[in-house]
Structure 1
Amino acid sequence: MKEILIVDGYNIIGAWEDLRKLRDDDLQAARDMLIDKMADYQGYTGTKVIIVFDAHFVQGIEKKIKQAKVEIIFTRKNQTADEKIEQLARELKQLDTRIHVATSDYTEQWIIFAQGALRKSARELEIEVKSMEKRVRSEIAKEKSQKGMFESRYSKEITEKLEKLRRGER
Structure 2
Amino acid sequence: MPSSSTTLLLVDGYNVIGAWPPLNKLARRSLMELARLRLVESLANYVAFRGYQATVVYDSYAQPTPAHQERSPSGIDILYTPYGETADTCIERLCAQLQWDECRVRVATSDRVQQLVIGGYDAEWVSAEQLWEEVQQAQQQIRRIKPKRSPSKRGIDSYLDAETLARLNRWRLSGQAPTD
Fold conserved (TM > 0.5)? yes
In structure 1, how many angstroms separate the alpha carbons of the residues matched to 2:63 and 2:49? Answer: 30
1:100 matched to 2:106? yes
**Which of the two has higher C-alpha Rg?**
2
Aligned residue type for 2:53: K
* 2:48 is the counterpart of 1:52: no
The sequence identity of aligned pairs, in percent, is 30
Q: Show CA shifts across 1:11-68 (max 9, x none).
A: 0000111110011120000000001111222221110000000003653111111012
1:95 Cα deviation from its structure 2 partner: 4.3
Matches within 5 A, 1:149-160: none
Whole-Å separation in 2 of the counterparts to 1:95 and 1:8: 21
1:10 to 3, 7, 14: 14
Q: Quick one: distance in 2 between partners of 1:38 and 1:75?
A: 20
Two-structure CA RMSD over aligned residues (Å): 2.2
Does the 8 Å contact 1:58/1:74 carry over to 2?
no
1:38 corresponds to 2:28: no
- Select which of 148, 154, 157 maps to 1:143: 148
When structure 1 is superposed on structure 2, of 26-35 and 84-93 the one drifting more is 84-93
Distance 1:23 1:57, change over 3 A: farther
Aligned-partner residue type, residue 112 of structure 1: I
Structure 1: unaligned runs, 5 residues or longer: none
Q: Deviations over 1:114-162 (max 9, x none)?
A: 111000111110011001111222233x523xx36xx8xxxx9xxx98x
Structure 2 residues not aligned, in runs of 5+: 166-180
- The one-letter amino acid of 2:102's match is D
Moved over 4 A (4+): none
Q: TM-score, normalised by structure 1?
A: 0.82
Partner amino acid for 1:164? Y
In the alignment, residue 43 of structure 2 is paired with which amino acid? M
Task: Confirm whether residue 27 of structure 1 aligns to residue 32 of structure 2.
Answer: yes
Paired residue total: 155
Out of 121, 128, 140, the residue aligned to residue 122 of structure 1 is 128
